[in-house]
Amino acid sequence: MRAIPIAVTALVAALTLTACGDSGDDGGDNDTKATASAAATAACAIGQVALEAGPASEAPAAGDTGIVPFTITNSGDQCTLEGFPGVGLTAGDTSATVAGDEAAQPEKLTLAKDDTATFTITYVRGEAAGAESLDATTVKISLPGADTTKDFPWSYGPVAGKTGASEPDATVSPFQRAGD
């Protein structure tokens, strides 16, 4: 009868020892974890995401506010978006940078393949051909940490200037997770 408790004790001890990790560090597990961690923190690049504009809520008249939403869908490996997208408006040889919304608090988003995020450009419509307005024709979008841009036609009317055409009365929101 005494053999059963000893056998059970030996079995429990053997199972406990196999559950413990090797105290030697050959780097195998750590290399895998480091690679997974690096992939989780790699910044999203324009070339690995699909970027779509609209549908917009165009400002109907000078002085009105309009919004242009953008959707980003990750088509590559897991990546992150943090902060604000880079947004520039151009009209011929004139260009202006759209500032991030100072009231917003950006968060770091991790996007797995096929995950989506959004951001929005909010602008005040200006007078057509007005000295204080930018008759924008193109909006250039870049992601944080990269100079590569994706261009979209700007068909939402002139953008009012805060103090002139070079400082548009517009802001861009931080990245936000889309969907549920």
Domains with residue ranges and CATH for the chain: 46-177 (2.60.40)
Q: Tokens for 107?
A: 């968060």
The confidence score (pLDDT) of residue 38 equals: 47
The confidence score (pLDDT) of residue 13 equals: 41
Q: Which residue type sits at 100? A: G
Q: Are 23 and 17 in contact (CB under 8 A)?
A: no
Tell me the whole-structure pTM to 2 decimals: 0.76
Residue 125: count other Cβ atoms within 10 Å of its Cβ: 21
Q: What is the mean pLDDT of each run of 10 residues along the chain (180 residues)?
A: 44 40 47 47 90 95 97 95 96 94 94 96 93 94 92 96 89 89
Alpha-carbon dihedral angle through residues 25, 31, 33, 34, given to the nearest 10 degrees: 120
The confidence score (pLDDT) of residue 57 equals: 96
